[in-house]
Structure 1
Amino acid sequence: MTTSDFKRRVKDPGDVVAGIILLCFSIGLIFYLVPNYINEPPILQNPMMSPRWLPGIVGWLILLFSILLILQGFLLDRSSEEDERNIEKGSTRRFVLMLVALVIYVALFESMGAVFTGILATLVLFVAHPVRTWWVYSMAFVFPIAVTFIFVKVMNVPLPISPIGF
């Protein structure tokens, strides 16, 4: 198949390329990372309690959606309509603040706990993407607390809660 044949068959090359990249990542996740780097306890009564269960599900979902994305790139022609997926470059300030939020979360997660670093990183993200509605800032407090509660109490994933042990 030549390059011109490929271009005629592919309606959206961006979707096909993104789908292939995600497909490769999901195969690596499912068949290499999860089995080799996530240990299962020897006494495991329920497979859904395994630490491999959630990453395995995520890997299979990424695999499924990557295949759907590749098919979409081959089947759907969007050249006639306005493409809403065009990337508009944001300001440098926004990019730097997003990196700061990531560094805050990674650097302070163990020492300050999941709740505090989640709140701080979310507030920085809200500043990066100007949020004008005041009540949305309450979500910066609600979401990290809810996510930490779900991980610790429901899924039994040990997370550092806070440095003073609340």
Structure 2
Amino acid sequence: METSEIHSVKAAASHHGRLNPNSMLGGAFCILAAVFLFYVVPTHINMPPYMQNALLSPRFLPQVAGWLVFSLSFLLMIDGIMKPPKRAESDDLRRGVPLTRQALLLAAGVIYAIFFEELGAMGSGMLASAFLFLASDLRGLRIYALAIVFPVVVTLLFIYVLNVPLPVGTLWEVIFQI
């Protein structure tokens, strides 16, 4: 082999190339941020007619967050295209993740998102935490007690300290007639 062929083989093995995780994630988050900025915020966040100062508007913080996500993900995408990241030894370790662990992690997110209204913040948080602990191969009664205590503390913190109303859950309202 010639020297240039050997160099290109080594470079291909050590770099991701132009379609690397940074540029793909940056592009995906750019698209999501654009949808958020130009569709979700204008159609779902209403501005009161008496609003005189734009900084006090309910749209202000979501727009700032959306533009930050858009600009940072655009920079990530450009950086991934200009300087592809090198492959790390940890990339090979991730290939051996069991399918059950991946399914439990995905189930935790789906349970939290879908059952947030029905089970409330506490119930869905407890269930999602238990699934995350199962996926992490954590065993022990003390660990699973944290799956109960942590969502309760966070929910009460949001409700009573930060004054952010979180759903109690339609299931609990029916059972306890709250």
Above 0.5 in TM-score? yes
Aligned partners of 1:12 and 1:78 also within 8 Å: no
**Unaligned regions of 5+ residues in structure 1, if any?**
1-9
The correspondence of residues 76-91 of structure 1 with structure 2, limited to 5 A, is: 76-79=83-86, 82=88, 84-85=90-91, 87-88=94-95, 90-91=97-98
Q: Does 1:94 align with 2:118?
A: no
2:39 to 32, 35, 39: 32
User: Which structure shows the higher helix fraction?
Assistant: 2
Aligned residues: 156
- Structure 1 residues 69-124: Cα deviation after superposition (integer angstroms, max 9, x where no partner): 12321343544x63645652522212332343234324432232211210111111
Cα distance change of structure 1 residues 142 and 165 upon mapping to structure 2, 3 Å threshold: farther
Q: Does 1:13 align with 2:55?
A: no
Give the Å deviation of 1:61: 2.4
Cα distance change of structure 1 residues 39 and 100 upon mapping to structure 2, 3 Å threshold: same
Return the alpha-carbon distance in structure 1 between the equivalents of residues 63 and 34 of structure 2.
Answer: 11
Paired letter, 1:13? L
Cα distance change of structure 1 residues 90 and 82 upon mapping to structure 2, 3 Å threshold: closer
Return the alpha-carbon distance in structure 2 between the equivalents of residues 74 and 112 of structure 1.
Answer: 43
Return the alpha-carbon distance in structure 2 between the equivalents of residues 60 and 51 of structure 1.
Answer: 15
Return the alpha-carbon distance in structure 1 between the equivalents of residues 55 and 144 of structure 2.
Answer: 35
Equivalent residue number for residue 117 of structure 1: 124
1:113 is paired with a residue whose SS is helix
TM-score by length of 1: 0.68
Cα distance change of structure 1 residues 152 and 32 upon mapping to structure 2, 3 Å threshold: same
Q: Which has the larger radius of gyration?
A: 2
Return the alpha-carbon distance in structure 2 between the equivalents of residues 62 and 35 of structure 1.
Answer: 17
- Structure 1 residues 120-139: Cα deviation after superposition (integer angstroms, max 9, x where no partner): 11111110121358765454
Aligned partners of 1:148 and 1:159 also within 8 Å: yes
